Amino acid sequence: MSIGLARLREEPDRIRQGAIDKGEDPTIVDQALVLEGKRRTLLGESDRLKAERNAASKKIGEAIRAGAAPNGPEVADLKRASTDAGTQIEKLDADLAATESALEELLLRIPNPADPDVPVGDASANKVVRTWGELLPREATTDGQAWTRRPHWDVAEALHMFDLERGAKITGSGWPVYTGPGSRLQRALIDFMLDVHTEEHGMTEIWPPAVVNSASARGTGQIPDKEDQMYVVPRDDLYLVPTAEVPVTNLHRDEIFEADQLPIRYAAYSPCFRREAGAAGKDTRGILRVHQFDKVEMVFFEKPEASTEALEWLTGRAEVILQRLGLAYRVLLMATGDLGFVQAKKYDLEVWAPGVERWLEVSSCSNFRDYQARRMAIRYRPEAGAKPELVHTLNGSGLALARTVAAILETYQQPDGNLAVPEALQPYMHTARVTP
RNA sequence: GGAGAGGUCGCCUAGUGGCCUAGGGCGCCGCACUGGAAAUGCGGUAUGGGGCAACCCAUCGAGGGUUCAAAUCCCUCCCUCUCCGCCA
């Protein structure tokens, strides 16, 4: 389940409105309420009968210990009472199981309501909350000489940094091979990002499995919601991760934290695999949309009262990376219609790519509030001895590599065709310039 | 992959069909004793669900089965450890 039953009963109106704002069917909320009522009725009746059966069994035990024959007439009535209750319980429980699975089905279709400060509407209601850096034009002038910034695939080809054709030969279209300085750049970016997040931002580094089981895929909602987007290994019931969010969030599935353990903040590198089903023909050139890319992901577990502030901080940590790399970007507050099913609030970071003259999404920072935590039963104890409560989970890219690489190539290309290495990466690249 | 041993409450452990409503120890919390503490004693200490409440139901790795009754017996699966094989 995703929306909590208690919340469903307590504030159905807010949940209904949340569904409307996200363009989902609000009548599911009412259907769920009906089933929830039925569930409680059945459960009460079943529990009552189970108590009866337990009492009868206990009496049989006592009678036998007192000397009655186990198969004698003295216990026959008790056995019959117990068996009769058992028959009814079986029926009730079958009905209950059907009701619960129907209810769960409905709950999975009720979206997480957006935060009150999220603009309502479709993508056109997204708000640019800030822009950083200089937006370089494609048609440039350097030292009085006019020149044209090329798209990243041209820069990469000239400098032998990645090879899309050979990637297509060994795997398929959308599986880039990074070569020479391109490969080095991958390593440099991963190292740089992890260093900043761990050493300066205090996050704990995680190097997770790139493949997860179905329970983990279910935990973060990849199945059933986004099953089409994942590569599957059916023989072993395993899934290639589309983001480190999946393994890292599942680190603490079914766990209960003490209050002083929170917040827990991770930074994790992983390769990311996405089928991009339905995106055929989009962004076919270069590395803007590929089946395998690399990403450093931030995953936070927070106390509920801290999560609103944590999202701002998380987003800021992703911005730090772009600023250090000297890449111009903007921050978008996504409107309800552009939010996913599970996010309460989301900022997208888009980097400016002057060669293709486009904004490229390189990070998506979200607060899930307790929605994901409920699915995974990740809780904490507000104080010693108190009842566990759900934590809030957040995550955001910090950053996705392929598009960041594209922005670097297009931003830092020089009129002579060489590539200047951003200062922050020079210690990792061991050079200030990439030449053919 | 083969053989064996295991999986019980935060941790360790008892438990081989009914006095298990899961016992004991450690740890933790409260109280008593103390000038304060240690030691000691007493009590409490899982999760989910239902009920205004007393309380009830479920859960002993997971799922099924046998039985009036399963931590305990049977079946399937998962995981951990030891040895062997293979291997970066």
* pLDDT tens, position by position, A289-338: 999 999 999 999 999 999 999 999 999 999 999 999 999 999 999 999 99
A251, part of any domain? yes
pLDDT at A195: 98
State yes or no: pLDDT of A280 exceeds 80.
Answer: no
Confidence (pLDDT) at A284: 77
Asked if residue A56 has pLDDT above 60, the reply is: yes
Could you give the CA distance from residue A231 to residue A242 in angstroms, rounded to a whole number? 8
pLDDT in tens, A384-414: 778 899 999 999 999 999 999 999 999 999 9
User: Does residue A34 sit in the same domain as residue A72?
Assistant: yes
Q: How distant is C1' of B30 from CA of A305, in Å?
A: 29
Strand B closer than 7 Å to the CB of A381? yes
A52/B73 CA-to-C1' distance in Å:
25
A67 falls in which pLDDT band (50, 70, 90)? Answer: confident
Q: Which of A81, A107, A133 is the last residue of a domain?
A: A107
Please check whether residues A387 and A255 belong to one and the same domain: yes
| Close Cβ partners of A296 (under 8 Å, ≥ 6 residues apart) | A190, A193, A194, A197, A244, A267, A268, A269, A397, A398, A399, A401
Residues A92 and A184 in one domain: no
Residue A203: per-residue pLDDT: 97
A31 sits within 7 Å of strand B by its CB:
no
Provide the pLDDT for residue A23: 93
Handedness of CA A115, A119, A125, A129 (dihedral sign): negative
Residues A322 and A353 in one domain: yes
To the nearest whole percent, how much of chain A has pLDDT over 90? Answer: 71
CB-strand contact A136/B, under 7 Å: no
Q: State mean pLDDT over A428-433.
A: 97
Q: Considering only residues 46-65 of chain A, list those whose CB is below 7 Å from strand B.
A: 46-48, 50-51, 53-58, 60-61, 64-65
A242 domain residue, yes or no: yes
Do residue A249 and residue A276 come from a single domain?
yes
**What domain count does chain A have?**
2
Confidence (pLDDT) at A236: 84
A309 and A429 fall within a common domain: yes
Q: What pLDDT, in 10s, does the model give residues A78-133?
A: 888 888 888 888 889 889 988 988 898 898 889 999 999 999 999 999 999 999 99
Range of the domain at A17: 5-107
**Res A220 pLDDT > 80:** yes
Are A427 and A297 in a shared domain?
yes
3-state secondary structure of A141: strand
Whether A112 is covered by a domain: the verdict is no
What tokens does A266 get? 């991770």
CATH classification of the domain holding A218: 3.30.930.10
Q: Are A21 and A162 part of one and the same domain?
A: no
Are A143 and A282 within one domain? yes
Given the DSSP bridges, would you call strands A162-163 and A177-178 parallel, antiparallel or unpaired? antiparallel
* CB of A44 nearer than 7 A to strand B: yes
